Structure formats: structure tokens, C-alpha cells
Amino acid sequence: MGHVKPGTLKSGKRTFAAVYRGPDKKEHSKSFARKVDAERYITEQEGHKLKGDWIDPAKAKVPYAQWLEIWQAGRIDIRSSTVQQNADYLRLYVLPTFGTVPIGVIDKPMVRAWVAAMTRRKVKATGKTFAPSTVRKAEALLSQSLQAAVEERWIPHNPCRGVTLPADEDTEMAFFTATEIKALADAIDPRYRTFVLLGAASGLRPGELAALEWDKVDLLKGVITVSKTLSERGGYIETGPPKTASSKRQVRIPKSIVKELEAHMKQWKGKDTYVFTSPEGGPMRGNFRSRIWKKAVEKIGRPEATPHALRHSAIALWIHEGANIMIVSKRAGHKSVAFTLDRYGHLYPEADEALLVAMDAVFAAGTNGPSGGGDGPQREASA
């Protein structure tokens, strides 16, 4: 059990040190102006020891930037490209405010004030405030890192919990019509004609298309195996696993696209293992968008569209043609059907209309259920 040790400051003011031994077998102390507060603190710490949730006060004094280094050094669950993106957000938005603050000092009012300041802050180049998505991403990283500190018992709770965030903007995804897809395939550098058509038919992400190798393309069965993605960071090409576990998948492609791939193979394969390469050979690089893509979308009057629009267009076309939501989610490599519905559910108005027509038919016939027997609800109530 701990004890209270009286003391006196140079100013003559009395202090009371709450002294106790922690589970780490070390002696810890904290000073208070009143004896009753010191006694209460000892009681609290003894309680935490008994419950097994005691936290070393020294760890809570570690600056956030130092904790961040410790946390990131042990992470093996994210891709290197994501690591770099996260590092940029932390450097620009999180560390300037919290870098030198001890993690145990960061509290909810501090986080709330930071979010509010970020929401009002203007970007010098444009004069516009930060996009809500930027604020939400920065806060998510802060919260994730502090939650890890909670789990490692460096701090007792996550101060980000319950902090109100700005509503995410309802950004409208870019889609190509079937006519625009054909026009884009004709307008782009011939080397990338099949890139456009395959992307708009298969729904592969741009990085998955760039990483696609010929041994993953079965032209006889019309099946593509998606097993990795490709990106460029700092001038270096990186390949790694797809975005999520469900992104590893096999996608069947239409016969017309198989023919396009066959023609592409005859003309462009060469010695490369990649299906799509840079004009000089080797894997596609990050300047594809500025060197090649931009000119093509400008030709067809869609300068705002990015290569990712091919994937959105594929999914929109599947839905338009009546594909089941489960099939759409599986082909797209989404992590869940809920994610697919959240992002593309607005493209299912025909399904909602068909349901209303069916329900009208049911009630117009004076029935209570699809069996037409009139006793469906009663059977359920008595079951």
C-alpha cells in the first residue's frame, strides 16, 4: 500500500507526495497541494493495480511525436504507399499541433479545438478551407495512433472518441457512358486502347491494371486473376498486394475484350511480362496520367475524369445491366456488400421501382404475402 509524504516548497507552500509501488516493482509518486487528494490518488492507483489496468505515469509523459515513431516502427499491416501518404498527413496536419505534447495530456477539448481550427483554416494557394475529407483523414490518423497507445496501456482512454467531425462532402463520382468509353479508346495512344476497354469492362483499379501480368490472363477461359497492385512513389516502382483481402479475386471478361487482349498481345507484348507498359517499355509509371491520359480525356470533352473513372464506369454498367449486388461487390473486390451499397446504391433506382410495382400488385389483389393465401402475417404472429 502507498503512503503520503509531506514536503515543503521553497515558497513555503506545503505539498503532499502520493508514493506507491507499481506492478513494474518501481516506486512512483505524484505531488498534490492537499493531503486528501494524495490519499485519493493512491487509492485509485491501487484499484487500477487490482483490476489489471494500471498505466505507468512515465509513459503518459512521452511526447506524441515519440510515441508515433514507436507505433509506426511496429506496423506491418499497411502498404508502403499508404505509409507515405499517412506520413504526409501526419507531418502537415497532426504533428504541428500535437508533436511535442505528452500523450497523456492530449484530451478531448484539445482535439475538438484542433478539429475546429482545421475546419476553418484556409489553404494559401486557393483561399478555400480544407476539404472535410482532409480533416477527417487527419483526425482518423490521430485517433488510430492514440487508440494504439490505449491498447498498449500508455494512456487510459482515446481522447478522439466522440469528437464531432465535419460532414464529408457528397462528391460525385465520374462515370463514362458506353459511347464515351469507345471514344476514349479511339482517342488515347493506341498502346493503351485495351487499357481503357479492359478497365471499363473488368472494374480493375488502375494500380491493378498496371500490375497485371500476362501469366495472370487466361485468354481461353476469359478470366483475369487479380493478385497485386502497382504504384510509384518518389520515382520508385512498388508492387504489393491489392487494397484489401477481398481484392484478390478472379474476374471473367467478355469475349469482345478477350479479342482486344489478343490483338494487344500481338502488337505490344514484346519481352515484357506486364500487359500494359510505359512507351519505353517496363512497368507503367505515375506520369501516365499527365503524358497520355490527360490528352485523351480532353479530346472527348471529359477533362475532369481520372483513370479511376474506368472502374466506376464498369460498376455502373454492371448495375445498369441488372447485376445482383453480391456479384457486383465480388467482381469489384469490395470489402463488403455494405460498402458497395454505400457507394453505388444510388444507381439502383430501377430495383426500387420494380419493388414498388410488385408491392402494388400484391395489395391490389387483396393479399398479405407472396403466397396469396392471406394468412402470412397471422402464421408469423402465432409462431
Interval 248-261: pLDDT, tens: 999 999 999 999 99
Q: Residue 349 pLDDT > 70, yes or no?
A: no
Q: Residue 29 pLDDT > 70, yes or no?
A: yes
* Number of domains observed in the structure of the chain: 3
Same domain, 289 and 206: yes
User: Where residue 378 falls among pLDDT bands split at 50, 70, 90?
Assistant: very low
Residue 343 is predicted with a pLDDT of 79
Residue 4 is predicted with a pLDDT of 74
Same domain, 239 and 263: yes
Same domain, 115 and 223: no
Same domain, 73 and 21: no
Angstrom distance (rounded) from CA 48 to CA 183: 68
Q: How many percent of the chain have pLDDT more than 90? A: 45
Asked if 344 and 328 touch (Cβ cutoff 8 Å), the reply is: yes
User: Where residue 381 falls among pLDDT bands split at 50, 70, 90?
Assistant: very low
Q: Residue 358 pLDDT > 80, yes or no?
A: no
Same domain, 78 and 29: no
Looking at this protein, which amino acid is placed at residue 160?
C
Q: Residue 167 pLDDT > 90, yes or no?
A: no
Dihedral over Cα of 332, 337, 342, 345: its sign:
positive
* Residue 314 within a domain: no
* Residue 349 within a domain: no
Same domain, 49 and 76: no
Q: Which of 76-80, 226-230, 358-362 has the lowest mean pLDDT?
A: 76-80
Q: What mean pLDDT comes out for the span 90-100? A: 95
Mean pLDDT estimate for the chain: 84
Tens of pLDDT, residues 50-92: 777 677 888 889 999 999 999 988 776 666 667 778 888 999 9
Tens of pLDDT, residues 289-307: 999 999 999 999 999 999 9
Asked if 271 and 118 touch (Cβ cutoff 8 Å), the reply is: no
Which of 276, 306, 336 terminates a domain? The answer is 306
Which of 262, 281, 306 terminates a domain? The answer is 306
Asked if 17 and 38 touch (Cβ cutoff 8 Å), the reply is: yes
Output 353 or 104, whichever has higher pLDDT.
104
CATH number at residue 216: 1.10.443.10
Residue 336 is predicted with a pLDDT of 86
Q: What mean pLDDT comes out for the span 146-167? A: 90
Same domain, 47 and 68: no
Same domain, 245 and 264: yes
* Residue 348 within a domain: no
Q: Residue 285 pLDDT > 50, yes or no?
A: yes
* Residue 122 within a domain: yes
Residue 131 is predicted with a pLDDT of 83
- DSSP element (H, E) containing 380: helix 376-382
Tens of pLDDT, residues 185-201: 999 999 999 999 999 99
Angstrom distance (rounded) from CA 101 to CA 88: 19
CA end-to-end distance (rounded Å), the chain: 60
Q: Residue 30 pLDDT > 70, yes or no?
A: yes
Residue 12 is predicted with a pLDDT of 73
Residue 78 is predicted with a pLDDT of 64
Q: What mean pLDDT comes out for the span 340-357? A: 71
Same domain, 46 and 81: no
Same domain, 221 and 299: yes
Residue 145 is predicted with a pLDDT of 94
Same domain, 135 and 226: no
Q: Residue 331 pLDDT > 70, yes or no?
A: yes
* Residue 130 within a domain: yes
Same domain, 48 and 71: no
Q: Render the burial of 302-339: b for 16+ CB within 10 Å, e for the rest.
A: beebebebbbbbbbbbbbeeeeebeebbbbbbbeeeee
Domain ranges, residue 296: 178-306
Which of 240, 272, 306 terminates a domain? The answer is 306
Helices (H), the chain: 35-51, 57-60, 64-73, 80-89, 95-98, 108-120, 132-151, 178-187, 193-202, 206-211, 255-268, 288, 294-299, 308-320, 325-332, 337-344, 349-364, 376-382
Angstrom distance (rounded) from CA 29 to CA 22: 10
* Residue 352 within a domain: no
Stated pTM of the model:
0.61
